[in-house]
Structure 1
């Protein structure tokens, strides 16, 4: 039997981390859309101008549901990156996204070192570790994206 778990959404930008936001149940199009509308987008708005950013997410099934894509088109017109979006993102490309090549590895290492005993301790540890990440590390992770893209392009 699998141990209880939680799905975590977090965003990274040059100014730090947005989130984390937790899903205790399976992430569906409905639950993802609700989280986007009620928590994620307001958190982004509180830190930056929505008209100046690009929203990027992976190709998880809940992320490309028609209702989610419609919301993203309305909220980030022509400025969101993802499956079936205005800007397609290559599938299985973790070397190109700061959350994959930086954030999740650092957070997992730090959180599991604390040996959380239950879901609440796990969520608390994730929050603590994300809040303690220096802004400079986030900035450097984000600044490396253009170089990573160029390296991939050079391989063509």
Structure 2
């Protein structure tokens, strides 16, 4: 008796739908069918997942085969022996920050984190490139000395105004 009641209530609800609601419901059902069956190109979630895992495995195995650290170290030592300073560059878009307190606080967190956790050798320097608008450039130049005060590495700030 319970199943018949649920079935009759469901039919009663469907009967109260208007024609455009039924058309939208039918269109949604057809879209789902089209997405899963016509757009799948004879693949299902299992075969796609398997393919993704195989791709990741091949990429990871290729990474493990090559050891780039020896090449990097030897090039680094050659440059320091010649007296050159190794520089690392970071590019940051810094626009419309002067009008957003939320973005200012995120910038503060990022710069304090970089100053606290950034690790460079004595012969290495970080060059921070900021692309900014006029108001944001002034704000950055006033904030950066305080935010990078505790940095244990050499850095240089370069700005470019839009």
Q: TM-score range by the shorter chain?
A: under 0.3
TM-score for both structures, normalised by structure 2: 0.26
* Greater Rg over alpha carbons, structure: 2
TM-score for both structures, normalised by structure 1: 0.26
Higher helix share: 2
